[in-house]
A = this chain, B = another copy of it.
Amino acid sequence: MLVVMQAHATEEQVRAICQKIESLGFRAHTIPGAERTAIGITGNKGEVESGTLEEMPGVQEVIRVTKPYKLVSRDIKAENTVITFPGTNATFGGKGLAIVAGPCSIESREQAFAAAEHVAQAGAQFFRGGAYKPRTSPYSFQGMGEEGLQIMADIREKFGLKIITEAIDHESLALVEQYADVIQIGARNMQNFSLLKRAGRSKLPVLLKRGIAATLEEFLMAAEYVMSEGNYRVVLCERGVRTFADHTRNTLDLSIVPAVQRLSHLPIIVDPSHGTGKRNKVTPLSRAAIAVGCDGLIVEVHHQPDQALSDGMQSLFPEQFADLMTQVRQIAAVLGRTVPTIGPHSTVADYRTSTQPVTV
């Protein structure tokens, strides 16, 4: 904490501030400047309440200095966190990029399997699909619930794809834990601290989406909540923030990728589907996300977007996703990265040659 005095502050005023600081159990460090004095505050008692000081005579401003995050910080762990999935080549944070794709919502077994087949063929390692949907309207489709989770578990079985799906409360989180490989916490719940703590007690990795108006610090602190409960496998996800700009649904803030990488060891991926809200912007912004240096993408793909029960306008057609994957691989190569196949233990490569018909 730093207290900046007004230019005409008297010595008595400076002294009074220092006494106040010491009386609160901290140390005061006076820094006399050419125009005004500043006073640094140190101590190991947490933070002074800045309001106390800000209203004392002679004070211009109080500036917070200390950063509150610990476990997410490179101060604690310098090397990148790499989240692996044993028996596969998929990682978050490794040299290989993580590609997560699938429909916004699981609407039926047919729809989910159709999307899964397409994204598996195109090279995604993870399948996404909502079983519990946080919708702005209570009258909109709210997801299939546990039945949707079962469908995704069957998709893992068939295609070898790892499953990522959103939990919206303690109850759904307990179910997601049973069926999925990664628990998604959505943007609207980024500061649902009760849910974050619950996710922190899970054994599964957590994909944490940035809140629609979250600063970098708040985003990292949300991850800190999960980690503070013992779950260190957190993947961050930029998905667009709310601004005045109205040509996209949200404004995708790609600069947060290098900003996170500077401060934190956690992997970060990008969601260009929610980040733009428009199908015709998903491919260019996906390219940009890979080029900026993120660790992967999460993209909505629907085999019939105009029939989708949610977010169809931002879902890619399967052939658009296949094209996107080609471009992603090329740009990844420029950055020395790859898009690994899900791996040797996966059934993706060979399920088509199986003599068993695919029952969908």
Q: Which residues from chain A sit less than 8 Å from chain B, CB to CB? A: 2, 4, 6-8, 24, 29, 31-36, 38, 40, 42-44, 49-52, 54-55, 60-61, 63, 65-68, 70, 73-76, 78, 134-139, 168-172, 188-189, 191-195, 197, 212-213, 215-218, 221, 224-225, 228-229, 241-248, 251-259, 262, 275-276, 278-281, 284-285, 287-293, 305-308, 312-315, 327, 330-331, 334-335
Other CB < 8 Å A-B pairs besides A51-B278, A170-B170, A245-B255, 12 of them?
A2-B40, A34-B43, A51-B279, A52-B312, A168-B192, A213-B244, A215-B245, A241-B243, A241-B244, A247-B256, A254-B254, A259-B281
Residue in B55, B76, B229 whose beta carbon sits within 8 Å of that of A279 in the complex: B55
Query: Can you list 26 contacts pairing A with B, beta carbon distance less than 8 Å?
Result: A7-B75, A36-B75, A49-B313, A51-B313, A55-B279, A68-B137, A70-B139, A135-B193, A136-B217, A138-B197, A138-B224, A138-B228, A169-B169, A169-B192, A171-B194, A188-B192, A216-B247, A241-B245, A252-B255, A254-B254, A259-B281, A287-B291, A287-B293, A288-B289, A288-B291, A290-B291
* Residue numbers in B under 8 Å from A281 (CB-CB): 255, 258-259
Task: Say how far A326's CB is from chain B's closest CB, in angstroms.
Answer: 10
- A42, B52: Cβ atoms closer than 8 Å: no
* Residue numbers in B under 8 Å from A138 (CB-CB): 193, 197, 221, 224-225, 228-229
- A192, B193: Cβ atoms closer than 8 Å: no
Q: In the bound complex, what is the Cα–Cα distance between A244 and B171 (angstroms)?
A: 33
- B255, A313: Cβ atoms closer than 8 Å: no
* Residue numbers in B under 8 Å from A245 (CB-CB): 215-216, 241, 253, 255-256
- A218, B254: Cβ atoms closer than 8 Å: no
- B136, A51: Cβ atoms closer than 8 Å: no
A29 nearest in chain B by CB position? B31
